[in-house]
């Protein structure tokens, strides 16, 4: 059993329908367990399931998608999720490029808030694993985190925490490498991390 409570407030329209389904399940289409998780799994899973309805302030260009985002907040006492996907040459948004992946996570304590281009999240002890492969990139990440707090303002992302993320991602979007929470990103996203704390900037 997982104890959860959630507060959300925004104007509802047809484009929010699938996001509301995730909210009722204690999920959020823009939840981030780490930058690499977002690159490897979440973005692809979100596209595969929801087409172009996912909004995340992850880069300079994405500010256009999120500058008028409504305020929202959520919190979970405990969480456990497992998602996998495989799509191939379907004439639907998010499914035209062949790709496959899996993402599993579990933890205790997670709170998140967002408004416009700003996002903030705090997490307690958690662990996750993600792997993704497509014609444009490939990668995998294993993650164990004691605690973290992160904040984003458009393309700038700051995170303070204690984690042992280990994995690699390589593709048209650049290269990201982490070992025991320490690593770097080179490409459209430039960043550096040290034992779970990091700073990054996304140009696209």
User: Within 10 Å of residue 121's Cβ, how many Cβ atoms?
Assistant: 21
* pLDDT tens sequence for the chain (204 residues): 444 444 444 444 444 444 444 444 444 444 444 444 444 434 433 433 333 334 455 677 778 888 899 999 999 999 999 999 898 887 877 778 889 999 999 999 999 999 999 999 999 999 999 999 988 889 999 999 999 999 999 999 999 999 999 999 999 889 999 999 999 999 999 999 999 999 999 987
Distance CA 63, CA 175 (A): 23
Helix (H, G, I), strand (E, B) or coil at 161: strand
| Contact yes or no for 124/79 (Cβ under 8 A) | no
pLDDT for res 57: 53
Whole-angstrom Cα distance, residue 171 to residue 104?
22
DSSP state for residue 14 in the 8-state scheme = G
Are 82 and 45 in contact by the 8 Å Cβ rule? The answer is no
């Amino acid at each position: 059993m997982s104890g959860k409570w959630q507060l959300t407030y925004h104007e509802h329209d047809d484009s929010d329908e699938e996001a509301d389904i995730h909210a009722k399940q204690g999920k959020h289409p823009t939840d981030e367990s780490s930058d690499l998780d977002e690159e490897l799994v979440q973005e692809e899973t979100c596209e595969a399931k929801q087409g172009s309805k996912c909004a995340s302030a992850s880069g300079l260009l994405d500010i256009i998608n999120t500058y008028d985002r409504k305020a929202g907040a959520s919190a979970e006492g405990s969480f456990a999720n497992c998602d996998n996907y495989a799509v191939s040459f379907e004439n639907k948004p998010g499914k035209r490029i062949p790709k496959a992946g899996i993402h599993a996570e579990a933890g205790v304590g997670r709170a998140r808030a967002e408004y416009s281009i700003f996002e903030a999240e705090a997490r307690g002890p958690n662990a996750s694993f993600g792997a993704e492969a497509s014609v444009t990139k490939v990668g995998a990440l294993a993650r164990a985190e004691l605690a973290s707090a992160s904040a984003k303002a458009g393309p700038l992302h700051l995170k303070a925490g204690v984690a042992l993320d280990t994995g690699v991602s390589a593709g048209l979007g650049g290269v990201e490498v982490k070992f025991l929470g320490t690593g770097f990103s080179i490409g459209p996203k430039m960043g550096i991390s040290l034992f779970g704390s990091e700073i990054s900037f996304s140009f696209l």
